[in-house]
Amino acid sequence: MTTRKLPAGVQDILPRECRALTNMRETLSRLFFGCGFAPVSSAALEYYDTYSQISNAVAQEKLFKMTDTDGKLLVLRPDVTLAISRIAATKLEDAHARLCYFSEKWDMESAGANKNREIFQAGVECLGEEGAFSDAQTIALAAQSLEAIGLKNFVLDVGHVGYFKGVLEELGLDEEGAERLRGFINAKDSYNAERLLRSAGASGDAVNTVLALPTLFGGSEVLARAKALTRNEEARAAIQHLERVYALLQEMGCAECVCFDLGTVKRLSYYSGIVFTGLVQEVGAAVLSGGRYDNLADDFGKHIPAVGFALGVKRALIALERQGGLAPIPPLDAVIVCEGGAEGAGYRLFQKFVEEGLRVRLASRTGEEGVQAERGCAQKLYYVTKEGVQER
């Protein structure tokens, strides 16, 4: 009976979780506002061509598609960062801006386990900014965000797509081959990675460098190991950039939660530089993902360097609950029960308490029946009669 069920990959948010989500949004809103970010909200419906006819096209199978009344094909927003890149390139007078958002995105393909089709995100975009200091600030804000919402023992994995791109230069792979190799590396599938490289005629040194990528994970010592594995200028420049970012994070007091991972390679056409992922042990998927994407706005007519991140609110809530940090809904401060004929006086008391900032409910049932029904539902219970107010 489908009238009582939901499609795969979507879910209702019940009161306790909804309250936690509201608290999380309020916490992050204060943090982002205090750090100089202005809120922005992109349209939920856009034209199909916006995401299918660009160099960073979203795969058709990931798009929720529908037909407009004029026959044009529409999609539900599949990527918030792309949407904000469009806004920055076409609607902002000053491309140098710091924006934050709380938005849903929809992914037709994702469903099950930790994957949802309706994905609520909180994030920031630093537009028109370049350099190690901007990257370090963004990583520091990511750490602040995870800490602010109450997550503990999180790790920020930091890498750089330039390292993998530099290594690729020595392999002679076409774009399709490079994407296949990226998939093998991310899956830690050294067997198929080596087969692909051997069939492409890659040299022994190049093969050894690629196969070493999954081992390049850990503290700052990883950077020295990575630099020693290649002579490629782009790859070595990527390591130098990471060294500079790490030094800045140390100066800023934000390096304790940072480790390096050069063996997890994000989408090469989307990201242009540093990349990072927020992880907690309680969830088997990233709760936060970000990086530098200097070329995303190019498809919309303007080159705008940018760096940012998105925090997956649902996954963060799951992690908070498993860490014991998901607070229950607080009890009511008061319940007001009226005697028959004293409803007006009860309502005036109710309004007074609300204006004082209390969390209070005016009971719908009156008299002793109402008192018994509401007993224990709040810290205080007031009974209003024609003669006055009694605390019961």
- Over range 314-342, report the average pLDDT: 90
Over residues 362-389, the pLDDT tens digits come to 998 888 888 898 888 899 999 999 999 9
Q: Measuring CA to CA, which residue among 91, 81, 115, 102 is closest to residue 8?
A: 115
**CA 11 and chain centroid, separation:** 18
Q: What is the mean pLDDT of the chain?
A: 90
Q: How far apart are CA 115 and CA 299, in angstroms?
A: 28
Given this model, what pLDDT does residue 112 score?
A: 56
- Over range 332-361, report the average pLDDT: 93
Given this model, what pLDDT does residue 357 score?
A: 95
Q: Measuring CA to CA, which residue among 95, 120, 91 is closest to residue 106?
A: 120
Q: Measuring CA to CA, which residue among 248, 303, 300 is closest to residue 274?
A: 248
- Over range 171-180, report the average pLDDT: 79
Q: How far apart are CA 381 and CA 392, in angstroms?
A: 5
Q: How far apart are CA 271 and CA 295, in angstroms?
A: 8
Q: How far apart are CA 207 and CA 196, in angstroms?
A: 10
pLDDT of 1 over the 60 cut: no
Over residues 243-286, the pLDDT tens digits come to 999 999 999 999 999 999 998 788 878 999 999 999 999 998 89
Tokens of residue 252, six digits: 């800023």
- Over range 149-173, report the average pLDDT: 89
Given this model, what pLDDT does residue 31 score?
A: 98
